[in-house]
């Protein structure tokens, strides 16, 4: 198809080496899990080695620290991302040597809690020693559980990573999301066999719907065995997109076109099959691809709420978990089919924990010493703040993530992400914070010359899910509801790039803003206090559901 078989040659030449790389990485992961203490000591020694001669460590006197957990924790402070900003500013100019002694090849862009996107240094050492091996180990597990992934060039649809041109730079160095693997840095960078497939490369559209259409167009009629995503919403949208663009897909398949333009040979058989699926009315992805045996995505914590939906869309396909990770680093890597919990990736970072009930932010604000626990000191059934020291030089970083230790097996904590510290909910990885919503509301109100008051924000499960905010204004009304809904939604998208991405792709619906009069929420909060523990109850803008909407504005929204 498309006149070029180059990508299939690439697939064939990479198939066995990729398999071997993934197998080796998985074996190394399992070996680390067999001796987690040695793995953590090795990681710490490696990080001290790559950071000891950095400018920052030398200036702070950290260069004399021993590569042992005790002296490391005694000398280096726990930090937040914002604490690293001055060093990151310097590192953008030098491209390495400030936080660690490794060249910065890219800057990774991710949402910041204060509105400005973060800049995470993507160093050569981190790439080679940690990030790529983690990907390989995870795919090693997938290959172990579902070898059909590499049966043929059309066997796998990988939506985890993308290849997109980059147009944002920091002092000449690319600044992009970690999921964008373009361009490949060297031959040891992430390079699956399908890396040059036409639905995976630069020729695929960058907009979510267009890219998904591209993928589907190439793979309908093929024996698809496995589809991989990060967020479950991507899999749901795959099915929705086929439903929405079904007739167009049938036409393209039958005519040998892609979006109406000539592309490959006509495939009347695939067109007939898809038409028959569409004729069913309600259909599943396994109707489209009866060969589909497995899928993977995040399935723990709030993402787990998608599970029944996924069962409906992918009946008969087996679920496999995605690693627990963020731009800042990898926390767990799946080793089996367990969906709720995975082993701490002891070879990925030096991990420390603080019980979740400790107000870590307050301690750090006060400059107080923070006592941490090591991986072998945590207890099953408890929640912890996660503190990571990564091979890119971001040491003792309070991630802001709360993890629950589900079990300790052979000395390794099995954990899952619970929520962001201070963040109530995240439908599909957007992780909006109170600070972000507050800022968005303030911006929107200011645009209309209004001063802000209290607000409540909660997640509403709908098709698609979205957030509902009830906020105090001087003169509430339906017209203002409409305007503020739009303004707050747009402001939040500008502040949080993940939210923007999910909004653009239709995985999140538009935020709904309902106005109420002054003191309404204060009175409501006060009334709630009387219902529960009066001492501990306090105003919290983020609510776990949207019950407050009915309480405050009623079904028709009359009482204001």
Residues lying near other proteins in the complex (CB under 8 A): 50, 53-55, 58, 90, 93-98, 101-105, 124-125, 128-129, 169, 171-173, 186-188
In the complex, least distance from residue 82 CB atom to other proteins, rounded to whole angstroms = 21
In the complex, least distance from residue 211 CB atom to other proteins, rounded to whole angstroms = 24
Q: Which three-class secondary structure state does DSSP give residue 290? A: coil
Question: Is there a contact between 232 and 305 (Cβ–Cβ < 8 Å)?
Answer: no
Q: How far apart are CA 335 and CA 142, in angstroms?
A: 9
In the complex, least distance from residue 323 CB atom to other proteins, rounded to whole angstroms = 23
> Residue 46 or residue 151: which is nearer to other proteins going by CB?
46
Q: How far apart are CA 455 and CA 384, in angstroms?
A: 29
Q: How far apart are CA 373 and CA 304, in angstroms?
A: 28
In the complex, least distance from residue 25 CB atom to other proteins, rounded to whole angstroms = 15
- Which residues 6+ apart lie within 8 Å of 556 measured at CB? none
> Residue 13 or residue 94: which is nearer to other proteins going by CB?
94
In the complex, least distance from residue 20 CB atom to other proteins, rounded to whole angstroms = 13
> Residue 184 or residue 482: which is nearer to other proteins going by CB?
184
In the complex, least distance from residue 105 CB atom to other proteins, rounded to whole angstroms = 8
> Residue 99 or residue 227: which is nearer to other proteins going by CB?
99
Q: Measured on CA atoms in the order 179, 182, 187, 193, is the torsion positive or negative?
A: positive
> Residue 93 or residue 482: which is nearer to other proteins going by CB?
93
In the complex, least distance from residue 51 CB atom to other proteins, rounded to whole angstroms = 11
- Which residues 6+ apart lie within 8 Å of 444 measured at CB? 484, 487, 488, 490, 491, 513
Element (H, E) at 122: strand 118-123
Biggest CA–CA distance in the chain, Å, is 71
- Which residues 6+ apart lie within 8 Å of 158 measured at CB? 192, 194, 200, 227, 228
> Residue 103 or residue 201: which is nearer to other proteins going by CB?
103
Residue 240: phi, psi to the nearest 5?
A: -65, -35
**Overall residue count recorded for the chain in this entry:** 560
Nearest Cα to Cα of residue 319 among 292, 301, 345: 292
> Residue 123 or residue 443: which is nearer to other proteins going by CB?
123
CA angle 27, 235, 406 (to 5 degrees): 50
Q: How far apart are CA 526 and CA 374, in angstroms?
A: 41
CA angle 363, 91, 54 (to 5 degrees): 75
- Joined together, the tokens standing for residue 149 give 């992934």
In the complex, least distance from residue 119 CB atom to other proteins, rounded to whole angstroms = 15
Helix axes of 268-279 and 232-255: crossing angle, nearest 10 degrees: 130
> Residue 104 or residue 405: which is nearer to other proteins going by CB?
104
> Residue 12 or residue 186: which is nearer to other proteins going by CB?
186
In the complex, least distance from residue 185 CB atom to other proteins, rounded to whole angstroms = 8
> Residue 21 or residue 352: which is nearer to other proteins going by CB?
21
Q: Which three-class secondary structure state does DSSP give residue 532? A: coil
In the complex, least distance from residue 495 CB atom to other proteins, rounded to whole angstroms = 24
Nearest Cα to Cα of residue 457 among 335, 543, 559, 363: 543
In the complex, least distance from residue 9 CB atom to other proteins, rounded to whole angstroms = 20
Q: How many CA atoms lie within 13 A of 59 on its CB side?
A: 8
Question: Is there a contact between 402 and 420 (Cβ–Cβ < 8 Å)?
Answer: yes
> Residue 125 or residue 273: which is nearer to other proteins going by CB?
125
């Amino acid at each position: 198809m498309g006149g070029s078989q180059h990508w299939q040659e690439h697939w064939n030449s990479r198939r066995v080496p990729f398999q071997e790389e993934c197998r080796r990485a998985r074996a190394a992961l399992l070996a680390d899990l067999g001796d987690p203490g040695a793995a953590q000591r090795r990681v710490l020694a490696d990080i001290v080695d790559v950071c000891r001669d950095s400018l920052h460590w030398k200036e702070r006197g950290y260069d004399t620290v021993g590569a042992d957990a005790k002296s490391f924790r005694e000398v280096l402070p726990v930090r937040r991302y914002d604490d690293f900003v001055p060093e990151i500013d310097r590192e953008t100019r030098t491209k390495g040597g400030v936080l660690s002694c490794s060249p910065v090849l890219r800057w990774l862009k991710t949402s910041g809690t204060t509105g400005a996107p973060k800049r995470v240094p993507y160093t050569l050492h981190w790439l080679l020693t940690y990030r790529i091996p983690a990907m390989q180990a995870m795919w090693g597990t997938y290959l172990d559980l579902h070898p059909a992934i590499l049966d043929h060039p059309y066997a796998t649809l990988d939506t985890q990573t993308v290849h997109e041109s980059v147009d944002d730079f920091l002092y000449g160095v690319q600044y992009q999301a970690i999921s964008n693997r373009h361009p490949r840095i060297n031959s040891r960078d992430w390079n699956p066999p399908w890396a040059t497939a036409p639905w995976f490369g630069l020729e695929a559209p960058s907009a979510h719907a267009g890219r998904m259409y591209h993928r589907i167009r190439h793979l309908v009629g093929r024996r698809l065995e496995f589809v991989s995503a990060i967020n479950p919403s991507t899999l749901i949208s795959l099915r929705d997109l086929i439903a929405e663009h079904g007739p167009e897909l049938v036409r393209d398949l039958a005519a040998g076109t892609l979006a109406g333009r000539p592309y490959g040979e006509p495939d009347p058989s695939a067109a007939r099959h898809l038409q028959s699926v569409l004729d069913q009315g309600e259909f599943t992805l396994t109707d489209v691809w009866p060969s589909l045996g497995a899928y993977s995505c995040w399935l723990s914590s709030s993402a787990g709420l998608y599970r029944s939906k996924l069962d409906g869309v992918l009946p008969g396909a087996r679920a496999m978990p995605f690693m627990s990770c963020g731009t800042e680093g990898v926390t767990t890597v799946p080793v089996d089919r367990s969906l709720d919990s995975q082993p701490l990736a002891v070879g990925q970072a030096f991990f420390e924990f603080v019980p979740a009930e400790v107000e870590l932010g307050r301690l750090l604000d006060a400059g107080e010493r923070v006592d941490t626990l090591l991986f072998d000191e945590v207890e099953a059934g408890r929640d912890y703040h996660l503190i990571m020291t990564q091979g890119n030089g971001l040491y003792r970083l309070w991630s802001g993530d709360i993890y629950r230790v589900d079990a300790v097996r052979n000395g390794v904590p099995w954990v899952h992400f619970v929520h962001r510290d201070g963040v109530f909910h995240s439908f599909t990885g957007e992780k909006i914070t109170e600070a972000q919503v507050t800022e968005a509301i303030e911006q929107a109100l200011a645009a209309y010359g209004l001063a802000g008051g209290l607000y409540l924000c909660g997640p509403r499960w709908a098709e698609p899910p979205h957030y509902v905010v009830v906020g105090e204004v001087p003169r509430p009304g339906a017209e203002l509801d409409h305007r503020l809904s739009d303004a707050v939604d747009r402001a939040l998208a500008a502040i949080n790039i993940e939210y923007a991405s999910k909004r653009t792709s239709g995985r999140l619906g538009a935020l709904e803003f309902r106005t109420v009069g002054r003191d309404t929420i204060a009175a409501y909060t006060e009334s709630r206090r009387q219902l529960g523990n009066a001492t501990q109850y306090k105003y919290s803008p983020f609510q776990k559901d949207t019950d407050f909407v009915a309480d405050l504005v009623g079904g028709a929204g009359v009482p204001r």
